[in-house]
Amino acid sequence: MIKGKILVIGILLLVLFSFEVTMLHSVSLGKEKSSIEKVEELLKNKKPFVIDFYADWCPPCNAMAPIMEKLEKKYKNKVEIIRVNVDLSKNRSLVLKYRVVSIPTFVFINSKGEVSNIIIGYREMEVMENEFRKLLQQQSKSGK
């Protein structure tokens, strides 16, 4: 009985220690902005962007990755893409804010900071590019 309790306490201490080391490591590397900070910055700067909610284990998400990479290159400096891994607890507030219940989910935010469209699931390149064009059209209509 005592050996079992000691084993449980040892495991808990190991888990806590590894969590603390991971957190210290991420803080020491912390020059890269979090997804939340990127979203806040783009909203403040009134730039159109797309939030790509995904998970590493998701086949449709993985199928969308090359399409989004092509669009990111094509629309560089015009429309920003922020990739948000839904499995990371640090991204939970964004997942809740944009009410993501299925992945992949793509949230299109115009230069006014408004959600212009939400696309859920796999889509062909043409469909996604059309949404990028809409974002830029909305921006030019608003005088930016």
Q: Which residues are catalytically annotated?
A: 58, 61
Q: Using CA atoms, how far apart are residues 122 and 67, in angstroms rounded to an integer?
A: 10
Q: Is 37 exposed, middle or buried (0-12, 13-18, 19+ CB in 10 A)?
A: exposed
